A = this chain, B = another copy of it.
Amino acid sequence: MTTTSPQGRTELLRPDGSPVRVLVVDDEQSITELLSMALRYEGWQIRSAGDGHGAVQTARDFRPDAVVLDMMLPDMDGLSVLGRLRRDLPDVPVLFLTAKDAVEDRIAGLTAGGDDYVTKPFSLEEVVARLRGLIRRSGAADRRSDSVLVVGDLTLDEDSHEVTRGGDGIHLTATEFELLRFLMRNPRRVLSKAQILDRVWSYDFGGQANVVELYISYLRRKIDAGREPMIHTRRGAGYLIKPAVS
């Protein structure tokens, strides 16, 4: 089931109308806090744990609809945690967090069962999007909710990563895609550069805030080129996207 919040955002709900529950497991507190904050803002109910034992225990009575699991925990390795989680909750989808340089083939096997993973450092948009996908596909939330965002004649498919405007396919790079997704998930709302940076770029990004300007510029070339513009600047406030005709 999906409902539309007053902000115009669509949120996932479980079939019985209660909020989706997500368990976040990471030993770095800054990470669990960051994730908890962002995921709560999605309207989900969050619990967090700092190690494998805590995770298994919490999962037992919290019965989450999805788990975010760091593969590198102090007390047990990710696979053991996964095994024990699955004993209690056989169908819960898991989003793994792994270091960039971690052995990819081990993860590959794990994700075969419908799970997914993101590498650290991640961007919140990425984590949220993948979690939404996992939950949607797991059937914990209404399956009718689909993965295509539409604003005016612009469409973005979160599953296939396909973007079209007026029917024409548009190729975007990964960053461009995430930026556009964030804009399209908040249509007609002014988003500040800080918000965009916090959401679309990795949490450890230490660079210049004008990357946002730069990527907006790239997006405009691809999305708005020669058409009625959909991406607008609110000087001193931020950017927003809205249907062209308005």
Contacts and interface: CB of A to CB of B under 8 A. Distances in A.
B38 A112 contact: yes
B209 A240 contact: no
Contacts of A90: 36, 40, 46
A114 B34 CA distance: 11
A83 B160 contact: no
Contact of A198 (B33, B38, B112): B112
Interface stretch (A52-60, A184-192, A217-225): A184-192
A156 to B, nearest CB: 13
Number of copies: 2
A39 to B, nearest CB: 9
Interface stretch (A20-28, A61-69, A70-78, A101-109): A101-109
Given A109-B198, A111-B198, A114-B41, A86 B160 contact: no
Contact of A7 (B112, B159, B237): B159
28 contacts: A29-B83, A33-B86, A34-B109, A34-B113, A36-B113, A37-B112, A37-B113, A40-B90, A41-B112, A104-B208, A106-B206, A108-B203, A108-B204, A108-B205, A108-B206, A109-B198, A109-B203, A111-B195, A112-B195, A112-B198, A117-B194, A159-B188, A159-B190, A160-B188, A160-B242, A169-B246, A173-B236, A174-B235
Given A40-B90, A117-B194, A161-B237, 15 more contacts: A34-B112, A37-B113, A37-B114, A38-B112, A40-B113, A41-B112, A41-B113, A110-B198, A111-B194, A111-B198, A112-B195, A112-B198, A159-B188, A161-B240, A173-B235
Interface of A: 5-7, 29, 33-34, 36-38, 40-41, 46, 83, 86, 90-91, 103-104, 106-115, 117, 124, 136-137, 143-144, 146, 159-162, 169, 173-174, 188-190, 192, 194-195, 197-199, 203-206, 208-209, 234-237, 240, 242, 246
